[in-house]
Each structure stands twice: as C-alpha cells, then as structure tokens.
Amino acid sequence: MKSGSSRSKIIFHIDMNSFYASVEMADHPELRGKPLAIAGNPEERKGVIVTSSYEARKYGVKTTMLVGEAKRLCPSLLIRRPNFERYKEVSQAMFSLLREVTPMVQPVSIDEGYIDVTDVASSHYPPDLAKEIQQRIYQELQVPCSIGIAPNKFLAKMASDMKKPMGITILRKRDLSRKLWPLPVRDMNGVGEKTNEKLKKIGIETIEDLATKEEYEVKALLGINGQKLHQRANGFDDREVDPEAIHSFKSIGTSTTLPEDTTSETHINETFRKLADKVENRMKRKNVVGQQIQIMIRYNNRKTVTRSRSLQEYVDKREDIWREAVDLFEEHWNQQPIRLLGITLSELVERTEAVEQLNLFSYEWVAEKEPLYKAMEELRQKYGEGIFHKAKTPPATISTSFQKDFLDD
C-alpha cells in the first residue's frame, strides 16, 4: 500500500527504550528507578547481559557483558531472567496500538518499527502526533519509547537514536550538516565494526566524511552497500514502509549463549542439535526449505565469526541441519572456548517449489535409500499408513533471535 500523494513522506521510527528491562519495571514497579539487567543465567557470573536499564548503563553496564563484570561495575545491580513470552505480548500490543493510527506499520524487530503517517499528518501536526503516540504507549503499556520523525526510513531511524529515553527528534534533510554529519560514521545505521575499519582506511571518520567522499570511491571499497551508505549519508533513502515485509524473510535462524564457556565437543554437538531443532520447527511453520547454511561462533574473548556453505540439496530436517552445522563447525573451530553458537538457513523457497535435481551427487544418495523406501511402502500396504509414527515435534521455545518471524514465534 502506497500513498497516492507525491508530497514528501513523513515517516516515524518508534524505538522502545531498554525494552526488556522496561517491561520488567512495568510488571514489577518496585524495580523502577533501580539499576536492572536482564541476563540469561543470572546465577552464574559468566552469564551474559541481554539488556540493562538506563540506571544501570550509567555505571557502564552494557549488553553482552558478563554478569560478574557488570556486578563489579555496579554492586547494587539487580538481575532478572528474561521472560520472552511476556515481551512478545507487549510488543504485539504496541504494534496493535500503532495500527490504530495508520495501517502503514512495518515492524522490524520485537521492539522497533516504522510507520508512514503521510496521510494522517494532513489532519495532525507530526510532532503532536508523535507525542500522542509516545504518551499512549507509556500510559497503556508503561514502557517508554523514542520516536524519530523524518522524510525517509534511514533519517527516522537515526533521529530516534538521538534522544533517549522518551525522546522525539525531527531530522530533515536541511538539518544534515548540523545534526547528522558531525557524528562518527560508526554511529550510522548500517555501519558495523568491520565496515567502520574499512572506511577509516580511506580517511572516513565522520558521517560528513562519508557524505562528501566521491561515491565511486566508497562503492569501490564496499560494493553496492557502499553506494547505499553514501546515498543515505546524504539523506536519500527510497525504501517504502511496507506492512507486508514482516511476512517476508530471507533466512531463518537462532542462536544461544552457553551457560559457561566450553570446549566440550559433546556439549557443542548437543547445543547444535537443539538449535537445529528450533530451526526445523520454524521452517515447518513457514513451509520452506533452504539451500545455504551458516553458523555463528562467538569465542570467550568475544571474537565472533560466521561461516557458511551452499548445499547440494534443499534441507529442512533437523538431522540434516545438525549434520551440516557440525561439519562446518569442525572445519573452522580454532579449539578455543566457545561462548555462543548459532545456525541460520538461507536461500529459502516454498517447499512446493523445491524440485530436487537428481544430479551425479544427489542421485547416489537417493539410490542408496531406495531399498529402505521400498520396504517401508510394502509395510504400509500390509499394515496401514499408521505403522510409521513421526516423532512429536517439541513445542517451539522463545529465544533471543531477532529474526523477522518473532511475531509468530
């Protein structure tokens, strides 16, 4: 759905502030105003901080920090286990509230999304509308949010980061040189640590440096992504707010932080089995299969690596996913202690569209299974379809995955 008007768009980016901690404070008022952190394993000093309240951040407590380190920085820090089911409920309520303002709502994660209020703004002054939304979310859900107002998604996202918590920031193209360009390029949405290091090598330290650099130089360094970053640094972004985007996806994955760093192959293999099980469950719900697998490995020194490979066949079964993930892990593991593991399947297609190509490689595998298939079919004909029972699929569990399928996790 697109606006029929050619006038400048008015986009809001709504960003829930310290979302998990804020939901805990809403549900438990005695926690308000206190330094609070959410951690997967608060009893263990090696547990990892998922998020923290602004009161805790004043002491230097940060996401991914170990519980022990956070406690040293803030001895009075309160730590709670995450309640993902509750966070999902509040997220759904928040997006439902936004859809009462306009149907042009695009969730991008459990705690943030865009809305296109171009049509609504004809009868509402945008800053007043943003204030109304912000206050209503706080009054009805008791959670704070910041809102960025801009003519496109990139600038709205950057604006919402400029004042937290409970901020409302307007960022127009004419404001770029004053509000956006002085910021370090690392603060720019879409610039990660590796990209930042590459940009530094060609003298780009600030967003202004990126905006004023010749586009071809940035594209030569970073490819098409460099071209996009250059355009956005200059305030251009033609992406629409797409309410249907939440239903599209390019990958399905999940990850888990281990209760303690490990080099145990048994523990690692078992963790991969659990991850493969979750990925299979999600793929079944989406009715898709995938042909590329990626694993994520985070070591105890926080170094994170990802490795992927294309597969000869489409896969969707946990055993296949597990086998490929472990094989990829064994190929790339440096034997150092592991803190986090993840599996992602990509190059997804609808199951009905996946036609197996019986090439030289897959034919051998299918041929080897043919006697088994024949025996199973004979038993079905003799004793009925019910002779073979599929193992029950364990109920899906909520994880810290930020994939687009969070709303129906």
Q: How would you write the chain as a 3-class SS string? A: CCCCCCCCCCEEEEEECCHHHHHHHHHCHHHCCCCEEEECCCCCCCCEEEEECHHHHCCCCCCCCEHHHHHHHCCCCEEECCCHHHHHHHHHHHHHHHHHHCCCEEEEECCEEEEECCCHHHCCCHHHHHHHHHHHHHHHHCCCEEEEEECCHHHHHHHHCCCCCCCEEECCHHHHHHHHCCCEHHHCCCCCHHHHHHHHCCCCCEHHHHHHCCHHHHHHHHCHHHHHHHHHHCCCCCCCCCCCHHHCCCEEEEEEEEEEEECCHHHHHHHHHHHHHHHHHHHHHHCEEEEEEEEEEEECCCCEEEEEEEEEEEECCHHHHHHHHHHHHHHHCCCCCEEEEEEEEEEEEEHHHCCCCCCHHHHHHHHHHHHHHHHHHHHHHHHCHHHCCCCCCCCCCCCCCCCHHHHHC
Give the per-residue pLDDT at 382: 55
Is residue 275 pLDDT above 90, yes or no? yes
Task: Give dist(CA 385, CA 383) in Å, integer.
Answer: 7
The listed CATH number (3.30.70.270, 3.30.465.10, 3.40.50.2300, 1.10.540.10) that belongs to domain 1-170: 3.30.70.270
Give the per-residue pLDDT at 384: 56
Is residue 165 pLDDT above 80, yes or no? yes
Contact yes or no for 165/19 (Cβ under 8 A): no
> So where are the chain's domains?
1-170, 172-246, 249-408
> 346: which 2 tokens?
């990509």
pLDDT of 117-148, one tens digit each?
Answer: 998 887 889 999 999 999 999 999 999 999 99
- What dotted CATH number matches 249-408? 3.30.1490.100
Give the per-residue pLDDT at 358: 37
Query: Among this protein's residues, is 112 annotated catalytic?
Result: yes
Task: Give dist(CA 31, CA 29) in Å, integer.
Answer: 5
State in Å, rounded, how far the first CA of the chain is from the last one: 26
CB-based burial label for 295 (10 Å; 0-12, 13-18, 19+) = buried
> 315: which 2 tokens?
């896969």
Please state the rounded mean pLDDT for residues 79-100: 93
> 200: which 2 tokens?
């530094």
**Summary mean pLDDT of the chain:** 84
Least confident piece of the model among 40-44, 94-98, 124-128: 40-44
- At 43, the pLDDT band (50, 70, 90 cuts) reads low
pLDDT of 326-379, one tens digit each?
Answer: 999 999 999 999 999 999 998 887 776 554 433 434 444 444 444 554 555 555
Is residue 160 pLDDT above 60, yes or no? yes
Give the per-residue pLDDT at 366: 42
pLDDT of 59-87, one tens digit each?
Answer: 999 988 889 999 999 999 999 999 988 99
Is residue 381 pLDDT above 80, yes or no? no
Interhelix angle 215-222/193-200, nearest 10 degrees: 130
Is residue 194 pLDDT above 90, yes or no? no
Nearest one of 151, 157, 92 to 407, comparing CA atoms: 92
Contact yes or no for 168/150 (Cβ under 8 A): no
Q: Please indicate whether residue 386 or residue 146 has the higher confidence score (pLDDT).
A: 146
Other Cβ atoms closer than 10 A to 182: 11
Residue that has been written with the tokens 């998990």 in this structure: 20
Task: Give dist(CA 258, CA 281) in Å, integer.
Answer: 21
Is residue 291 pLDDT above 90, yes or no? no
Per the residue annotation, which of 24, 55, 112, 324 is the catalytic one?
A: 112
- At 298, the pLDDT band (50, 70, 90 cuts) reads very high
Any binding-site annotation on 111?
Answer: yes
The listed CATH number (3.40.50.1220, 1.10.150.20, 3.40.50.1100, 3.40.50.150) that belongs to domain 172-246: 1.10.150.20
- What proportion of the chain, given as a percentage, has pLDDT over 90? 61
